[in-house]
Structure 1
C-alpha cells in the first residue's frame, strides 16, 4: 500500500491515512492471514504509523519514490511469493510496480491493483490486465462506523 499515492497528496494526515485504509478495504476486503505492507516517506512516518489502524508491516524510506522502493523490496523474490501467496494486492497507481505486477502474474499469482482516485499509470494498468479496481467509495460523514480500529498508545 503506497499510502501517499492512495491518499492523493505528499503530506497525508493521520485521518486521511485512516480514511484511505477504509477505502482500500472497501475496494478489496482483507482476508484472515493477509500480510499487509504499508509504506511512506520518512516525512510521513507518523501519519502512516498512527493513521493505519490495522495490522501491517510499516516501511518508510527517504528520497524520490522512497515509498515505492520500500514496497518493491517486499516483492523482490517473485518465486518465493508465488510459492506462498495465491493473491497479491497492490494499492498504487505508480508505474514503478509494473514489472513486479507482470512478473507475479506470469508466476501464476492473482494480482489485483487498486487504483487511486487520480493517477493510474497506463503501463501498470496493462500489466494488471482485468484486475484493476477503483479505490472504494468514501464513507459519508453522517455514517457512524461501529467497527473502528483503535491503536493503544504505548
Structure 2
C-alpha cells in the first residue's frame, strides 16, 4: 500500500493565506481581560473569519494584557506597546514591515480609525471585524468587507 502525501506549493498556500491583525483590547473592549475572555473572543474571531492553519495571526496588546492574551491565544504571534493607542501602533509598525503581496487577504480585528490609511493601502482585499459601536467611519470606508463581532461580550473586567 503506497500512500502519497500531497504538499501544497508555495503559490497554492499564498493563494489562500491571510494576514490577520487582532487588536485584542479593542475586541475585548478594554485594556485588561482574562484568558477565558480572550479564548471566547478567539473562538468568535476564528469562526467568523474562518481562520485556517495557513493564516498568519498577529495580536497587538499592551503589557497589561499580554499574559491574559498569550494564555487565551497561545498560537498567535504578539506585538506589544503600551500607552495611548499602543496596540494599534504596534500592529501598524508590524504591518509596515510585511510584504502584503504574499497574502490573499488582510483581516483586521479592530474598529480604530488609525488603521484606515494602512487598510486602504494594503493592495489586497481587506476584511474588518469590529463591534458596531466602535467601527470608525474611516475604517468602514477603507475596507472591502465589514463583519461585526457579537455584542454579547461583556466589557473586560
Indicate the residue corresponding to 1:132 in structure 2: 146
**Aligned-partner Cα distance in 1 for 2:73–2:146:** 23
**Aligned-partner Cα distance in 1 for 2:37–2:86:** 19
Check 1:89–1:8 CA distance in 2 against 1; reply closer, same or farther (3 A cut).
same
Distance apart, 1:75 and its partner CA: 1.2
TM-score normalised over the length of structure 1: 0.79
- Would you say 1:30 and 2:48 are equivalent positions? no
Indicate the residue corresponding to 1:58 in structure 2: 78
Q: By percentage of residues, which structure has more strand? A: 2
Indicate the residue corresponding to 1:101 in structure 2: 119
Contact 2:131 2:151 in 1 (8 A): no
| 2:87 alignment partner, one of 67, 72, 77 | 67
Indicate the residue corresponding to 2:136 in structure 1: 121
**Aligned-partner Cα distance in 1 for 2:23–2:131:** 10
TM-score normalised over the length of structure 2: 0.77
Any stretches of 5+ residues in structure 1 without a counterpart? 140-154
Indicate the residue corresponding to 2:4 in structure 1: none
- Aligned-residue Cα RMSD (Å) equals 1.8
**Aligned-partner Cα distance in 2 for 1:58–1:72:** 13
**Aligned-partner Cα distance in 1 for 2:30–2:132:** 11
Runs of 4+ with deviation above 6 angstroms: none
**Which structure has the larger Rg over C-alpha atoms?**
2
Indicate the residue corresponding to 2:19 in structure 1: none
Contact 2:66 2:80 in 1 (8 A): yes
**Aligned-partner Cα distance in 1 for 2:134–2:34:** 20
Distance apart, 1:31 and its partner CA: 1.9
Count of residue pairs the alignment pairs up: 132
